[in-house]
Amino acid sequence: MEATRYTRTRSGVRSVQVLMDAPRTRLARAGDWMARNRARIALLQWAIVLLYFVLVAVPAFLPLPPEDARMADNLTRFAQLAFWGVWWPFVIASMLLVGRFWCGVMCPEGALTEFAGRPGKGLPIPRWMRWPGWPLVGFLGTTLYGQLISVYEYPGPVLVILGGSTVAAIAVGIVYGRGKRVWCRYLCPVTGVFALLARLAPLHFKVDRAAWDLQPAHIPAVDCPPLLNVHALASAAQCHSCGRCSGHRDAVALSLRWPGSEIVASKPGDVGHYEALLLLYGMLGFAIGAFQWTLTPGFVAAKQWLATWLVEQGILWPLASNAPWWVLTHYAEVSDVFSWLDGAGIVAWLVGSALLVGGFAHLAAMGAARLARADWKVLALALVPMAAANLFLGLSMLTLTQLRSEGLVFHWLPQARLTLLAVAWLGCVALSTGQLRRAGTPPWRSAAAATLVAAAAALPVLLWVRALDLLAGM
What's the pLDDT score for residue 473?
58
Asked if 354 and 285 count as a contact pair (C-beta separation under 8 A), the reply is: yes
Tell me the one-letter amino acid at 344.
Answer: A
DSSP characters over 69-101: --TTT-HHHHHHIIIIIIIHHHHHHHHHHHSTH
Length of the chain: 474
Query: Is the model's pLDDT at 8 over the cut of 60?
Result: no
Burial (CB count within 10 angstroms: exposed 0-12, middle 13-18, buried 19+), residue 455: middle
C-alpha–C-alpha distance, residues 393 and 370, integer Å: 32
What's the pLDDT score for residue 23?
62
What's the pLDDT score for residue 168?
97
Model confidence over 365-414: pLDDT tens digits?
Answer: 999 999 999 999 999 999 999 999 999 999 988 777 777 777 777 788 88
What's the predicted TM-score (pTM) here?
0.91
Confidence at 296, pLDDT banded by 50, 70, 90: confident
C-alpha–C-alpha distance, residues 262 and 253, integer Å: 17
The mean pLDDT value of the chain amounts to 91
Model confidence over 216-255: pLDDT tens digits?
Answer: 878 888 889 999 999 999 999 999 999 999 999 999 999 9
Model confidence over 274-286: pLDDT tens digits?
Answer: 999 999 999 999 9
Q: Which of 359, 92, 89, 86 is nearest to 200 (CA)?
A: 92
DSSP characters over 232-261: G---SSS-----TTTTGGGTEEEEE--TTH
Confidence at 87, pLDDT banded by 50, 70, 90: confident
Q: Which of 442, 447, 288, 424 is nearest to 356 (CA)?
A: 288
Q: What percent of the chain has pLDDT over 90?
A: 76
Model confidence over 96-137: pLDDT tens digits?
Answer: 999 999 999 999 999 999 999 888 788 999 999 999 999 999
Confidence at 17, pLDDT banded by 50, 70, 90: very low
Asked if 354 and 289 count as a contact pair (C-beta separation under 8 A), the reply is: yes
Cα distance from N-terminal residue to C-terminal residue, the chain:
65
Backbone angles phi, psi at 18, to 5 degrees: -105, 115
Query: Is the model's pLDDT at 21 over the cut of 60?
Result: no
Q: Which of 430, 347, 353, 433 is nearest to 386 (CA)?
A: 430
Confidence at 4, pLDDT banded by 50, 70, 90: very low
C-alpha–C-alpha distance, residues 426 and 432, integer Å: 10
Asked if 45 and 184 count as a contact pair (C-beta separation under 8 A), the reply is: no
C-alpha–C-alpha distance, residues 425 and 423, integer Å: 5
Asked if 113 and 183 count as a contact pair (C-beta separation under 8 A), the reply is: yes
Going from the C-alpha of 50 to that of each of 39, 58, 166, the distances in angstroms are 17, 11, 13
C-alpha–C-alpha distance, residues 360 and 459, integer Å: 9
Model confidence over 26-70: pLDDT tens digits?
Answer: 999 999 999 999 999 999 999 999 999 999 999 999 999 888 888
Query: Is the model's pLDDT at 13 over the cut of 70?
Result: no
State the SS3 of 139-171.
HHHHHHHHHHCCCCCCHHHHHHHHHHHHHHHHH
Q: Cα torsion for 230, 234, 238, 242, to the nearest 10°?
A: 50
Q: What percent of the chain has pLDDT over 70?
A: 95
What's the pLDDT score for residue 6?
42
Buried b (16+ CB within 10 A) or exposed e, 330-359: beeeeeebbbbbbbebbebbbbebbeebbe
| CA triple 144-140-452, angle to 5 deg | 120
Tell me the one-letter amino acid at 289.
Answer: G
What's the pLDDT score for residue 397?
84
Going from the C-alpha of 132 to that of each of 41, 127, 195, 269, 290, the distances in angstroms are 30, 10, 13, 13, 24
| CA triple 343-344-345, angle to 5 deg | 90
Model confidence over 326-379: pLDDT tens digits?
Answer: 999 999 999 999 999 999 999 999 999 999 999 999 999 999 999 999 999 999
What's the pLDDT score for residue 2?
39
C-alpha–C-alpha distance, residues 32 and 254, integer Å: 8
- Please report, for the chain, how many H helices and E strands are present, in that order: 22, 6
